[in-house]
A and B are shown apart, each in its own frame.
Chain A
């Protein structure tokens, strides 16, 4: 090996602390970047591949009950490759005394296997045994039961029955339970009949023979199937063509989540870059004279440049030794975490080779690219300047005004020295501050995002002025139903409404995905929504509708004042859009529409009847809600009402909070990583500063400075840098959190989050940054104070 490369190797090992610091900062950046990129690649590919493997339906048509004859006819429609009938029934499973969990009950064929949207056996019995049910594995937790347990299930309008959970299934065609909040259960037709359900299908699912990714082609085939259904005397209630086809319901959320994570990964890499500039600059400053000697003995500028590029690459290679295995571990953990949230199985986890290549490139290129400027600057410096040891350090400026300020503030001499030291190397200070401030900025942003998410959640829940919602299996007289619940102790009010499904009619006459319709009193006391545009319903409104803002995902051109046609119970009704409200509904979930109960009953009948009660209780905590729900259920059952579902505001909040916790946990981990890189930056800067001032420290000690005084100067400098970084973090976190809150809200909830700046996070970061600054300064300060005067004065 050439002597010059020996020099590079020995420079790497001659100062282990410095090397470890730089290597760690690069490694953490490359690790975070690689782990996120690998997770992104694996999750995106496997979600898509796994989804395709279940043979997802090209379209689903909901219609009146039918049997296999209609399916046989659908199979003969040109363009249809496969078709099957599906029966899904709304049900609920008891999770405790008078506590119920909303459940979608699917019928599987006798042999278990479906052709479309394949449900796989996961554990226990297969196919669903007689008078037993299987539960989708990701929703089992919501039943509060285990395989082998017996639960009580009730389908709408029927008596409840005890039924064993005979096993688990794996169904990737459905939204994960953590998102939908529903339990998915599977039974045979025999079992459904035993539970009181019908022995017929209500949905047609089909797969087109070609153009599976062509939405317009699928729509054309769906129209043909729809015409066939109508010719059979049935009504097409809804036609659902997924947009875009062949995409898992959650794939729409992935880009935003992964974009934010990737941005954070890149940010940590960028912060590493600043630290590398600082370290390489410090090394160059320290070795200025050596560079002069090398030039004097014949080294060209490009050879010097190559040498220090080699050193930078050496840091990168060492960083790879940590970053690659950590990246594999990190991506494994993050992939498994996200996969569990998406109910996805990662088959054969393999770290993607292109990501490994990118990690190698990042670890080598980032240090070299960031160090290029300081290296070029020093390498091109004339030999005489380099030999004389001249550096580009700015000369000490006059600070008479500052001196007077220090006097006025009674700042001690060591602290004054620390203040002056802080600003001596302004470029280095700027890069350290950027690294530390970005780390802090991200930390405060993530905490603010968390606070905003939960505030938005609480506001949304608070807009529901009711505590419990009771859904009946069929309509009852409203006065009777209200009377029944008002007799329950603790109930302070009740309001009747009607619910239905509505299907927006498109320009071509087909219907879009169904939306939840609620007909409620215009002057309701039980709902105070946050308006996103337009206004709330007025008593005098005729056919007026207020939509949740996620309606705009499917129909972005809709504006306040537009008229839309909704198909309700098979007939079309025109409604004028008077407003949009913000509700916490994922974009993938159906939108909600609110109309006045007067306008609704005028159009569809049902005056004086209700199928849903919203009830206010005296207590608003979880225990009061649970107790009220139990008491109401008992009372209503005793009074002969068929209750379909009771859910409380606390339960609704918990379902949403569960989703948010997952997100904020991932973001918090990223914030910690970025904060660590920033902390390493400060530690690196402090050790470089002390190293460069070794001789100065020796002089101070020679003229009587105590160990404590030396340590105080170094520590003060670290704390000053930490304090300045904290101020900058606080300032930049405002626009960062606003932007992230908007992006997150729009992507996940289709509404910007209510921005709540997290002051506890600001205080927490101040504590953390001062702790980091202290730790980062104490070690170099102790080293500095331990050197003997002779050692430091001899320091070259």
Chain B
């Protein structure tokens, strides 16, 4: 089944010809904590092209999630420049950033993070709702199609997320990430909370999406999975120690 692209009021700015989809230059991120200043990222330089499937690997506390937060605009850099899909994220205010993020990036979390009081289908429709994309009927149809693609039945679509297994919930989260048909999918340890068989099937989904032209950036500490990505970026102590591993 094909999934139609829905009309929306805020088209994603096209990146300049030949420009990387993601470009980070000298990105530094510092946090002020009760114990003093803590530097999570120390001068990150990274480019990711369209259609790449990039795994970001590193130990706990290495700065992987902070790096992802820079790319998604969930957090802002202390210094340096973050450009994603043609936008300099440092120049967007919170409101514009939210709309841009909704249209440009699909985010998948380790703990699925579905809204517990919405049904599975409503969870998938929510990004379209926030970004004012399509009519109610179009959203419903697109959500149904995405869930079908994620091998979830119509009956499951009308259940609350807690009625589904972990793997199924993560599939719903991926469907939600695809709702606005973003060019970029960012996943923060999407298999970290799943058994190995389910994790493998979820990873396979990402591989398919990448094959269809989506750019996928995935944080993982599983080296086996990272090796299956087109490229692995290794982060340690807030720095990229290897950006070309495959």
Contact = CB atoms under 8 A, between A and B. Distances in A.
Counting chain A CB atoms within 10 Å of each CB, the highest count among B69, B74, B123, B177 belongs to B74
A294 B75 contact: no
A382 B75 contact: yes
B75 to A, nearest CB: 4
A78 B113 CA distance: 88
Interface string B76-100: 1000000000000000001100110
A295 B75 CA distance: 12
Interface string B131-149: 1000010000000000000
Counting chain B CB atoms within 10 Å of each CB, the highest count among A297, A301, A387 belongs to A297
A301 B102 contact: no
B127 interface: yes
Interface string A289-310: 1100111111111110000000
Interface in A1-42: 1-4, 6-7, 10-11, 14
B102 A297 contact: yes
B55 interface: no
A3 B95 contact: no
A276 interface: no
A7 B69 CA distance: 26
Given A6-B118, A387-B74, 6 more contacts: A2-B136, A3-B118, A296-B107, A296-B109, A297-B126, A298-B102
Contact of A297 (B34, B69, B130): B130
Contact of A300 (B95, B116, B118): B95
A33 B3 CA distance: 55
B125 A3 contact: yes
Contacts of A383: 73-75, 94, 98
A217 interface: no
Interface string A154-181: 0000000000000000000000000000
A380 interface: yes
Interface string A54-88: 00000000000000000000000000000000000
A298 B74 contact: no
B144 to A, nearest CB: 14
Interface in A363-391: 380, 382-384, 387
A298 B117 contact: no
Contacts of A7: 115, 117-118, 122, 126
Contacts of B76: 382
Nearest to A299: B130
Interface string A246-283: 00000000000000000000000000000000000000
A387 B130 CA distance: 17
Contacts of A395: 34
B145 to A, nearest CB: 16
Given A2-B129, A4-B129, A382-B75, A295 B117 contact: no
A10 B118 contact: yes
A227 B229 CA distance: 114
Nearest to A386: B74
A4 B117 CA distance: 10
B125 to A, nearest CB: 5
B117 A10 contact: yes
A476 B129 CA distance: 97
B169 interface: no
Given A296-B107, A387-B74, A4 B126 contact: yes
The 3 A-B residue pairs with the shortest CB-CB distance, nearest first, are A298-B102, A10-B117, A3-B122
Nearest to A302: B95
Nearest to A383: B74
B180 interface: yes
Nearest to B114: A293
A457 B222 CA distance: 86
B115 A290 contact: yes
Contacts of B102: 297-299
Contacts of B126: 3-4, 7, 294, 297
Contacts of A299: 98, 102, 130
30 contacts: A3-B123, A3-B126, A4-B129, A6-B122, A10-B117, A10-B118, A293-B109, A293-B113, A293-B115, A294-B115, A295-B98, A296-B72, A296-B101, A296-B109, A297-B102, A297-B107, A297-B126, A297-B127, A297-B176, A298-B131, A299-B98, A299-B102, A300-B95, A300-B98, A300-B130, A301-B98, A302-B95, A382-B75, A383-B73, A384-B75
B64 interface: no
Contacts of A298: 98-99, 101-103, 127, 130-131, 180
A774 to B, nearest CB: 32
Contacts of B109: 293, 296
A290 B103 CA distance: 19
Nearest to B96: A300
Contacts of B107: 296-297
Contacts, number: 87
A4 B72 contact: no
Nearest to B73: A383
Interface residues of A, number: 28
Main secondary structure of the interface of B (DSSP, over half): helix
A700 B107 CA distance: 36
Contacts of B127: 297-298
Contacts of B122: 3, 6-7
A380 B94 contact: yes
A775 to B, nearest CB: 29
B207 to A, nearest CB: 23
Interface in A118-143: none
Interface in B39-73: 69, 72-73
A296 B74 contact: yes
Nearest to A296: B107
Nearest to B112: A293
A299 B127 CA distance: 7
Nearest to B94: A301
Contacts of B180: 298
Nearest to B10: A298
Contacts of B34: 395
A303 B101 CA distance: 15
Counting chain B CB atoms within 10 Å of each CB, the highest count among A1, A14, A293 belongs to A293
A384 B180 CA distance: 21
Contacts of A295: 74, 98
Contact of B117 (A1, A11, A380, A382): A11
A230 B117 CA distance: 88
A4 to B, nearest CB: 6
A136 B186 CA distance: 86
A4 B128 CA distance: 11
Nearest to A381: B94
B233 to A, nearest CB: 21
A183 to B, nearest CB: 67
A293 B130 CA distance: 12
A543 to B, nearest CB: 84
Contacts of B119: 6
A392 to B, nearest CB: 15
A384 B129 contact: no
Counting chain B CB atoms within 10 Å of each CB, the highest count among A298, A382, A383 belongs to A298
B95 to A, nearest CB: 5
A11 B180 CA distance: 25
A606 B168 CA distance: 109
B128 to A, nearest CB: 8
Contacts of A387: 74
A296 B112 CA distance: 13
A384 B176 CA distance: 19
Contacts of B130: 4, 294, 297-300, 303
B241 to A, nearest CB: 24
A294 B98 CA distance: 9
A717 to B, nearest CB: 27
A298 B136 CA distance: 17
A228 to B, nearest CB: 82
Interface string A669-684: 0000000000000000
A302 B107 CA distance: 21
Counting chain B CB atoms within 10 Å of each CB, the highest count among A2, A10, A296, A380 belongs to A296
B113 A384 contact: no
